[in-house]
Amino acid sequence: MKKSGLTYIVDDLSLIRKNIIRDNSVVIKLSNPDDVVGVFQRYYGDYNIYQICLDLGFGSLSQIQFNNDWENIPLVIFAYNLGDLNYILNIVGLIQSCKIRVMQPASNKESYASLKILSSLGVDCGIFFDQEQADSEAFLDLASYYYMSPVPHASIEPFANIKENIHLDYNHSFDEVYFVDEKRFLYIHSEKEFSFLPQSKRLSIYLSDEDFEKEQVNFKLENYYGHFMELDQCSKCKAFKICNHKLSSSFNCDCQQTMAEVFEYAEISETVRR
């Protein structure tokens, strides 16, 4: 695979230039909700914006003043919580009409109820894993809601991604939900450097296609095949197919058991669907 065709992730607007982005699609990372509409309008048309990724840190979803200008913006919002639920309920029609996914942290116990609310209101949403460990029981409860509940509801990540890819004949982690996948995304740090992960080794953006492919394989050797070299617990885990080590230290108890149950739920829901 070559660099062309991948999605570039940038958090510095000065890097959104034709000589850097070329024909690649782009994820623009922002932290101020006031910038979203302006940035989209500025770059839409000249660039293929895959998504705008708005990271509110410890901010709430309700701090965003949604209006009709947000409607066509492909947006994923990382928020700590929903905030003012009344406000959210009042504008839920508008949110539903937008291309928005709301992500909340697994370490916040409120998130699990909030995500059920959003999902049942028809808003795509998801859980993300931060530094703190998540409650595996709450996580499994959310998974069972997504996979089993007969109540109509929008998608919840990473469960939707797992379900969508469960029949592939190769391992497919849900990393792409979080913009981490060396076959799809590159983090652009400057006009000269990129990396496969935000913190991984920086490489020259001027690599030839051949050298780039070598680096991709090297990355996979270290990160994916590394489990099979070391024969670590992930290589022996029943849920490796859906997890690929991504949640190996994310839970307050046995991650293997947790993810194996998620795997079972996803399979059952697929069987029922068919």
Residues that bind another protein (CB under 8 A): 1, 168-171, 213, 217, 220-221, 225, 227-229, 231, 235-238, 240-241, 267, 271
Q: Kindly tell me which of 89 and 229 has the beta carbon lying closer to another protein.
A: 229
Task: Give the residue among 43, 54, 38 at the shortest CA–CA distance from 14.
Answer: 43
- Smallest gap from Cβ 23 to another protein, in A, equals 22
Q: Kindly tell me which of 141 and 270 has the beta carbon lying closer to another protein.
A: 270
- Smallest gap from Cβ 248 to another protein, in A, equals 13
- Smallest gap from Cβ 184 to another protein, in A, equals 16
- Smallest gap from Cβ 83 to another protein, in A, equals 41
Q: Kindly tell me which of 130 and 211 has the beta carbon lying closer to another protein.
A: 211
- Smallest gap from Cβ 18 to another protein, in A, equals 29
- Smallest gap from Cβ 271 to another protein, in A, equals 8
Q: Kindly tell me which of 168 and 272 has the beta carbon lying closer to another protein.
A: 168
Q: Kindly tell me which of 58 and 170 has the beta carbon lying closer to another protein.
A: 170
Q: Kindly tell me which of 206 and 225 has the beta carbon lying closer to another protein.
A: 225
